[in-house]
Amino acid sequence: MLGDVILRTENLSIQFGALKAVNDISISIEKKKFTTVLGPNGAGKTTFFNLISGLYKPTSGKVYFKDQDITAYSPQKRIHAGMGRSFQLTNVFPDLLARENVRLAVQSAARIGFKLFKSYKGYNRINEETDRLLKDMLLEDKADVKAGDLTHGEQRKLEMAMVLAQNPEILLLDEPTAGMSVEEVPVMIELLQRIKDKGDTTIVLIEHKMNMVKALSDTLIIMVHGEFLCEGDPESVSQNPEVMAAYLGGGAINVSA
Amino acid sequence: MGNITSRFPNLITIPKLLWLLAGIVILIIPPISTTATITMVSRIMIFAVYAMAYDILRGYIGIIHLGFALFIGGGTYFVAILFANVGISIPILLLAIVGTTIYSIIWALIVGKIAAKSGLLATAMITMAFAEIMRNMMERWRTVTNGLDGLTFRVPAPFDNRTFMYYACFVFLLLMAFALYKFTTSPTGRVWQAVRENEQRAVFLGYDTNRARTIALLVSGVVAGLAGVMFALLNRFANTDVLAMQMTYNAMLYSLVGGSGSLFGSIIGSAVVVLFQNFLLDLRGVHFIFERWLIFFGSLYILVVIFMPKGIMGFVETIRERWKHKKGGKIYES
């Protein structure tokens, strides 16, 4: 059982002043499974991701990735160990072409390092991989548009291409459909389904709309007020009275109190 | 239809003709011009290298280095102190070049460490302090540097020949422009732009952004230091002005007027600014109001910032885009 766990947190906590944004969370993510972290706005989901991906250092607790304590690792080291993450707010290089955004991600994954004397265009393998990813993401006609000039949905897709370029073993996706139009959401869902069906990547998704991810997820983890509430398969979790209270009751019924 | 440019699109183009023209003009200036003009164009070429080095930081990776005079000033003082106090020969010049390179590397590493720890603004302020400290040191160290009055020195042959110096500056500009162009189009150069655009994203692509910054500081520092060596050889004089804030402002001015983020823009910017300065200075003979030429210079600068926020290169780019659209429209009509 333990061998199947790819990512584990142990009493992970972070405190900003008096606010315990993430409080004492211990979870295990199984390899090659689709896990969704659900919770109302302000539940600490993104902060939890920031702790896992190394943007924040935890106040206490540990993060284990592939049975290795990575709590002290820099974000870069975690990326090269096989993590990939996307951001809730669109996070691209706005003044660079869409193609260059993806190419930079592929270049990092290829670890060609800090070469100074060769033209960046001279790496065929990287260029081919870039074209493949853009095509996969249906962005081939937009390749020569500045990333900042793309529509919001296209930018989200571009971000996905950048994360996938790193060939991560675990994908940390922070609300990939946030701010997408109704027509664009199914495209993203289908893409997630495709990655899942391929079956070689562990996916951890943050969402706050339960209906969207019920069909996709193997496991749901519910967070409320920075704390772990419950975990299980989508059916049983959505029947859980505490979860229903947290979702339906909102602030009126405080489950953690 | 059927004109030369469309039949041989890759053989003769307008940019190529312009390059050829510029090359010819630069090569025939010495035999037909006065010494003053030759020296001025030489100075433009040195400042162009200095501005390009600055633009690597400002325009490519996005570091605001308010103490950039450290590098050109350092190079100038290495040459000046050695020539004035040790001896005048080519080996001494080589020693100055080696010294400048080491000095620039040390400063680049120090600033790299600071930039990694503190933010953009703190780096800007701290670098400014560094340059002021160096300027003060050179001012106080009178026995060696002769303070504000500066050092006058002779330079070894063949650098004492104005025409030779002119061509040396030209070769220096070509070499440095080529090297910097190579660097900016290398994988590392692309990471520089990524850091400028969105450092957090670059980190989460797995890039060591501190390392990228340090490499940029090293490249730009060494190039600016070497520009300082050339500057000393050309002026045969060094005082604390080369380390003053004004020297850093010059680099900013050249690269901003030319177009930030474009190496070629820095060259154009240096030429335009220096030529315009000289033009205004010459007007002093026409009317006494031009004694206050800085007023006109400042006004022009304000106009450039308002009407060409992306500098001359940005302006040219906009015009070209518009022209393209117009041309496309015509085809559409017919």
Answer left, alpha or beta for residue B160, where phi above 0 means left and psi between -120 and 50 means alpha: alpha
DSSP characters for A61-129? EEEEETTEE-TT--HHHHHHHTEEE--SS----TTSBHHHHHHHHHHHHTT--S--SS-GGG-HHHHHH
A114/B201 touch (CB, cutoff 8 Å), yes or no = no
* Of A184, A103, A181, nearest in space to A144 by CA: A103
CB-based contact A118 B197, cutoff 8 Å: no
Q: What is the mean pLDDT of residues A215-226?
A: 87
Residue B5 has pLDDT above 50, yes or no: no
Contact B198 A92 (CB under 8 A): yes
Calpha distance B235→B84 (Å, rounded)? 13
- Identity of the residue in B188, B193, B207 whose CB atom sits nearest the CB atom of A115: B188
Q: Is the pLDDT of residue B45 over 90?
A: yes
Inter-residue contact A149 to A177 (CB < 8 Å): no
Report how far residue B98's alpha carbon sits from residue B85's, in angstroms, rounded to the nearest whole number.
17
| Secondary structure (3-state) at B126 | helix
- Peptide bond before B31: cis, by omega within 30 degrees of 0? no
Whole-number pLDDT of residue B162: 93
Chain B nearest CA to A120, separation (Å) = 5
Could you report the per-residue pLDDT of B110-123, keeping only the tens digit for each? 999 999 988 889 99
- Read off the pLDDT of each residue in B311-320 and give the average, rounded to a whole number: 89
Top pLDDT among B321 and A144 is at: A144
pLDDT confidence band for A249 (50 / 70 / 90): low
- Average pLDDT, whole number, for chain A? 85
Average pLDDT over every residue of B128-149: 92
Give the residue-averaged pLDDT of A13-31. 89
Confidence of residue A79 (pLDDT cuts 50, 70, 90): very high
Give residue A251's pLDDT: 42
The tokens 């405190």 sit on which residue? A15
- B104 Cβ neighbours under 8 A, 6+ residues apart: B71, B74, B75, B218, B221, B222, B224, B225
Q: Where residue B171 falls among pLDDT bands split at 50, 70, 90?
A: very high
SS (H, E, C) A115-130: CCCCCHHHCHHHHHHH
Q: Which residues contact A117 (CB under 8 A, 6 or more apart)?
A: B182, B186
Would you state the structure tokens that stand for residue B79, as one six-digit string? 């040459």
Residue B51: closest CA among B269, B216, B226, B222: B269
Which has more pLDDT, A159 or A237?
Answer: A159
Say which residues have a Cβ less than 8 Å from residue A238's Cβ, sequence separation at least 6.
Answer: A210, A214, A220, A244
Rounded average pLDDT over B271-283: 90
pLDDT for B266: 94
> What is the DSSP annotation of A182-214?
TTTHHHHHHHHHHHHHH---EEEEEES-HHHHT
Q: What is the reported pLDDT for A255?
A: 38
For the cut 60, the answer to whether the pLDDT of residue B6 exceeds it is no
Across the range A231-235, mean pLDDT stands at: 82
| pLDDT computed for residue B251 by the predictor | 94
In this structure, are residues B130 and B67 in contact, taking their beta carbons and an 8 Å threshold? yes
| pLDDT, position A243 | 77
DSSP A231: E
Stretch (H or E) spanning A165 = helix A152-165
pTM (2 d.p.): 0.87
Beta bridge partners of A228: A223
Cβ-contact A152, A160 below 8 angstroms: no
The per-residue pLDDT for A257 is 31
Instruction: Mark out the alpha helices in chain B (DSSP H runs).
Output: 4-7, 14-32, 35-55, 69-85, 90-117, 120-140, 142-145, 162-184, 187-197, 199-204, 209-235, 245-258, 263-282, 293-307, 311-333
Confidence tier at B272 by pLDDT (50, 70, 90): very high
CB contact under 8 Å between A93 and B185, yes or no, is no
B172: which 2 tokens? 């220096």
- Between chains, do A120 and B204 touch, taking CB under 8 Å as contact? no
CB under 8 Å to A106, separation ≥6 — which residues? Answer: A126, A129, A130, A133, A165
Find the CB nearest A91 among B187, B201, B219.
B201
Indicate the residue type of A200. Answer: D
Question: Can you give the pLDDT at residue A191?
Answer: 85
B256-267 average pLDDT score: 92
Query: What pLDDT band is residue B327 in, cutting at 50, 70 and 90?
Result: low
B41-333 architecture in CATH? Orthogonal Bundle (1.10)
A230: helix, strand or coil: strand
Give chain B's mean pLDDT: 90
Interface test with A, best of B193, B204, B217, B218 (most A CBs within 10 A): B204
Cross-strand partners of A35: A204, A219
The pair of structure tokens assigned to A118 is: 């060769």
Structure-token match 């940390």, residue found: A172
Sign of CA dihedral A196, A134, A122, A95: negative
* pLDDT tens-digit map of A106-119: 999 888 878 888 88
pLDDT, residue A128, reads 92
pLDDT at B53 over 70: yes
**Least confident stretch, A208-222, B145-159, B201-215:** A208-222
- The token duo for B115 is 């930039």
Residue with the bigger pLDDT between B158 and A239: it is B158
Which of B198, B203, B215 comes nearest A75 by C-beta?
B203
Percentage above 70 pLDDT, chain B: 94
Residue B125 has pLDDT above 50, yes or no: yes
pLDDT (tens digit per residue) in A170-196: 999 988 888 788 888 888 888 888 888
**Region A27-38: what's the mean pLDDT?**
89
Share of chain A above pLDDT 70, in %: 94
